[in-house]
Chains A and B, each alone.
Chain A
Amino acid sequence: MRILYLFAAFCIAVTTFAQEEQLYKVVIVDQDEEEVTSAYLELSDGRKVAFPQYDGRFVYSFKSSNSSEFIKVVQTSGIGIPEGPKVDYFTVYPDSINVLEVKRIYSVLPPVDVGSTLTSGNIKFRSSGAALDDDHIRERAGNSLSEAIDVLPGVHAVNTGVGIAKPMIRGFIGNRVQVVDNGIRQEGQQWGMDHGLEIDQFSVDEVEVISGPSAIAEGPGMLTGVVRINPKWESIKTGFSGTIQGLGKTNNRLYGGSGLLNYRSTNQRLIVSARASVQDFADYRVPDDQFIYNGFILPLPNGILKNTAGTELNFKADVRYMFNSDEYLTYTFSVFDQVVGLFPGATGIPRAFDIGEIGDQRNVATPNQETRHYKHIFDYQVSRGYYTHTLNIGIQENIRRERSQPHGHGLTYIDSSNTLALGLNLTSIEAKYSTEYAKDNYSLSGGLNYQNKANRISGWEFLIPAYDRNEFGAFFLMKWRTSDWNYSAGVRLDGANTNVQGHSQPYYAEPDSLVERVAPFTLLQVRPSVTLGLSKQLGNHGINGHVSYLNRLPAVNELASNGVHHGTFRHEVGNPDLDPESGYVGELNAFLNFEPLSIKMTGFGGYYSNFIYLNPSGRFSPLPDAGQLYQYEQSAMVQFGGEVSATYDIYLGSKAWNDYLLHLTLIGEYVSATSTETNLPLPFQPPLGVTFIPEFERTGERSSWSVGSELQFVAAQDRVARNELTTPGYGLIHIYAGYSDVLSNGNEWGVSVRIQNLTNQSYLRHLSRYRILNLPEQGINFILQVKYSF
Chain B
Amino acid sequence: MRVLKSTLPIAIASLAFVACSEEQVDTEAPEMTQVLINGSDDEITVQAGTQLSIDVSAVDNESVSQVKIDIHEVFDGHEHGKVQVDPWTYVKILNTSGATVTVSDNPMIPTEVASGPYHVVLRVLDDNGNEGEFEEREIVIENGSQPIVNVTSPVDEDVYQLGQTITPMGTVTDVEGLEEIHLILFQIEHDEHGHDHDDEHLHEVAEDEMEFTDDPTTFDLSNMSVTIPATEEAGHYLLMIKAVDIEGNHTIVEVELDIEE
Tell me the chain B residues, 125-163 only, with Cβ under 8 Å from chain A. Answer: 125-131, 133-134, 136
B14 within 8 A of A: yes
B72 within 8 A of A: yes
The answer to whether B128 touches A625 (Cβ under 8 A) is no
Residue of A nearest to B73 (CB): A410
B193 within 8 A of A: yes
Which of B72, B87, B129, B134 is in CB contact (< 8 Å) with A618? B129
Tell me the chain A residues, 602-626 only, with Cβ under 8 Å from chain B. Answer: 605, 607, 615-620, 622-625
Tally A residues with Cβ within 8 Å of B.
47
Across-interface contacts of A301 in B (CB, < 8 A): 203
In the complex the two chains form, what is the Cα distance from A354 to B201 in whole Å?
12
A722 within 8 A of B: yes
The answer to whether B204 touches A356 (Cβ under 8 A) is yes
Residue of A nearest to B24 (CB): A679
The answer to whether A299 touches B189 (Cβ under 8 A) is yes
Tell me the chain B residues, 154-208 only, with Cβ under 8 Å from chain A. Answer: 189, 191, 193, 195-204
Across-interface contacts of B201 in A (CB, < 8 A): 290, 297-299, 352, 356
The answer to whether B129 touches A616 (Cβ under 8 A) is yes
Which of B74, B76, B189, B198 is in CB contact (< 8 Å) with A295? B198
Which of B11, B25, B121, B189 is in CB contact (< 8 Å) with A605? B11
The answer to whether A410 touches B14 (Cβ under 8 A) is no
Residue of A nearest to B25 (CB): A679
Across-interface contacts of A638 in B (CB, < 8 A): 14-15, 18
In the complex the two chains form, what is the Cα distance from A349 to B136 in whole Å?
10
In the complex, how many angstroms separate the beta carbon of B5 from the nearest chain A beta carbon? 14
Which of B29, B72, B127 is in CB contact (< 8 Å) with A625? B72
B236 within 8 A of A: no
Assuming the A-B contacts A618-B129, A619-B65, are A297 and B81 also in contact, with contact meaning beta carbons closer than 8 angstroms in the complex? no
The answer to whether A296 touches B196 (Cβ under 8 A) is yes
B46 within 8 A of A: no
In the complex the two chains form, what is the Cα distance from A517 to B113 in whole Å?
28
Residue of B nearest to A408 (CB): B77
Across-interface contacts of A416 in B (CB, < 8 A): 81
The answer to whether A295 touches B91 (Cβ under 8 A) is no
Most chain B Cβ neighbours within 10 Å, of A354, A413, A623, A674? A674
Tell me the chain B residues, 63-107 only, with Cβ under 8 Å from chain A. Answer: 65-66, 68, 70, 72-74, 76-78, 81, 83, 86-87, 89, 91, 93
Interface size class of B (residues with CB under 8 A): 35 or more
Contact with A along B107-131 (1 / 0, CB 8 A): 0000000000000010101111111
In the complex, how many angstroms separate the beta carbon of A562 from the nearest chain B beta carbon? 17
In the complex the two chains form, what is the Cα distance from A407 to B114 in whole Å?
14
A-B contact count (CB 8 A): 122
The answer to whether B93 touches A620 (Cβ under 8 A) is yes
Contact with A along B2-31 (1 / 0, CB 8 A): 000000000100110010011011010100
Across-interface contacts of A407 in B (CB, < 8 A): 81
A263 within 8 A of B: no
Assuming the A-B contacts A407-B81, A412-B83, A722-B27, are A627 and B129 also in contact, with contact meaning beta carbons closer than 8 angstroms in the complex? no
Across-interface contacts of B189 in A (CB, < 8 A): 299
A654 within 8 A of B: no
Across-interface contacts of A297 in B (CB, < 8 A): 191, 193, 195-196, 198-201
The answer to whether B133 touches A676 (Cβ under 8 A) is no
Which of B22, B65, B89, B131 is in CB contact (< 8 Å) with A679? B22
The answer to whether B25 touches A678 (Cβ under 8 A) is yes
A597 within 8 A of B: no
In the complex the two chains form, what is the Cα distance from A749 to B149 in whole Å?
68
In the complex, how many angstroms separate the beta carbon of B19 from the nearest chain A beta carbon? 8
Residue of B nearest to A588 (CB): B4
In the complex the two chains form, what is the Cα distance from A444 to B203 in whole Å?
68
Q: 10 closest pairs, A vs B, by CB?
A: A616-B129, A416-B81, A295-B196, A620-B68, A618-B129, A297-B191, A352-B201, A296-B198, A624-B91, A410-B89
With A508-B91, A620-B125 given, can you name 6 additional A-B contacts, CB distance below 8 Å?
Answer: A292-B195, A295-B195, A349-B134, A616-B128, A680-B25, A723-B130
14 A-B residue pairs with Cβ-Cβ distance under 8 Å, sorted by A, are A356-B203, A408-B77, A508-B91, A616-B131, A618-B66, A618-B125, A619-B65, A620-B68, A620-B125, A623-B91, A627-B123, A679-B22, A723-B29, A723-B131
